[in-house]
Amino acid sequence: MDEKKLFKELSSLVTESRNPNSMEIDVMDTAEAVRVFNEEDKKVAYAVEKELPYIAQAVEIVTAAFKEGGRLCYFGAGTSGRLGVLDAVECPPTFGVDPGMVIGRIAGGYKALTIAVEGYEDHEEYGAQDVAELEVNEKDVVCGIAASRRTPYVVGAIKEARKRRAKTIAVVCNPREELQYDVDVAICPVPGPEVIMGSTRLKAGTATKMVLNIITSVSMIKLGKVYENMMIDLQQNNKKLVERSKRIIMMAANVDYDRASECLKIAKGHVKTAIFIAKTNETDEVAKNISKPMTAF
């Protein structure tokens, strides 16, 4: 892209504009500077609230894909890419799903999670290559994350995903009408200019994290991974999570600590099965063959 054209494009973005409320933050005392950050952060939830209808559409698309054996694949650069990877890696321990069900890809590869890889995000073909490497197909959903809405790596990933007939979602922090590529659903919270001009790890990053949290969490709820408001398929990969599992069994089945521990042992660590055993006194074999959803309790 011509440098002057790129400069003009970047200058027009909300995320690249100056925030009038922080113009003098470099000479504010500490308490006042902290207050400015907090006041600006308050705007994020309201920006996300305006996008709830589109987030709900995204949840329906993702849930349908999961039920057909498809995957949710995030693609982003910088902070956006890191947030996608973060959401993906947290799904298996939280909801007990296969690590390949939600996947995060960041421009520059996993090295870019800890060390900035300059320039990689500027190439559409790299995004397309990463989509091809994952063998994305019509069962999958590709979610491009780009605060600016223009990141070439993300644009390339979405274009390649559409060629492969995958469903596509965009999460950007600039107005919807400025989106320059086609997706099935665009989620566009606009929390306004950053406290530090262009630093999208701030409000834009917070808005993005909130959106991704909702998409995967509600999708997992709709798959039966949550009973009432409790995680019933969590993986016990540390002592804290073992004890959390027992507490969930105690609350869901109204049993004491010892009975919850016993049922969890019988169920070989599977919380959903342990709850069924605790509620019905059925054996492990019967519990594992139960086909009724947890909401039947």
Residue ranges of domains in the chain, CATH in brackets: 11-222 (3.40.50.10490), 227-296 (1.10.8.1080)
Cα dihedral 65, 67, 68, 69 in deg (nearest 10): 90
pLDDT reported for residue 296: 38
pLDDT reported for residue 293: 43
Length of the chain: 297
Q: Which is catalytic among the residues 121, 124, 160, 194?
A: 121
Q: Is 90 a catalytic residue?
A: yes
What is the distance between the terminal CA atoms of the chain, rounded to a whole angstrom?
Answer: 58
What does each of the 297 residues of the chain score in pLDDT, given as a tens digit?
566 666 556 556 888 899 999 999 999 999 999 999 999 999 999 999 999 999 999 999 999 999 999 999 999 999 999 999 999 999 999 999 999 999 999 999 989 999 888 788 999 999 999 999 999 999 999 999 999 888 999 999 999 999 999 999 999 999 999 898 899 999 999 999 999 999 999 999 999 999 999 999 999 999 999 999 999 999 888 999 999 999 999 999 999 999 999 999 998 899 999 999 999 987 766 666 654 444 434
In angstroms, rounded to a whole number, what is the distance separating the alpha carbons of residues 274 and 11?
Answer: 57
Q: Is 133 a catalytic residue?
A: no
Helices then strands, each counted (H, E), the chain: 11, 7
DSSP state of 195: S
Q: Which is catalytic among the residues 16, 90, 262, 282?
A: 90
pLDDT reported for residue 295: 42
pLDDT reported for residue 245: 96
In degrees rounded to 5, what are phi and psi of residue 2?
A: -55, 135
pLDDT reported for residue 16: 85
In angstroms, rounded to a whole number, what is the distance separating the alpha carbons of residues 269 and 175?
Answer: 46
pLDDT reported for residue 285: 65
pLDDT reported for residue 217: 98
pLDDT reported for residue 35: 98
Burial 73-109 (b: 16+ CB within 10 A, else e): bbbbbbbbbbbbbebbebbbbbbbbeeebbbbbbbbe
pTM here is: 0.90
Query: Taking a C-beta distance cutoff of 8 angstroms, is the pair 197, 17 a contact?
Result: yes
pLDDT reported for residue 9: 61
pLDDT reported for residue 7: 57
Query: What amino acid occupies position 58?
Result: A
Alpha helix stretches (DSSP H) within the chain: 3-11, 30-49, 52-67, 78-95, 124-133, 152-163, 203-222, 239-253, 257-266, 271-280, 284-288
Residue owning tokens 């998409």: 215
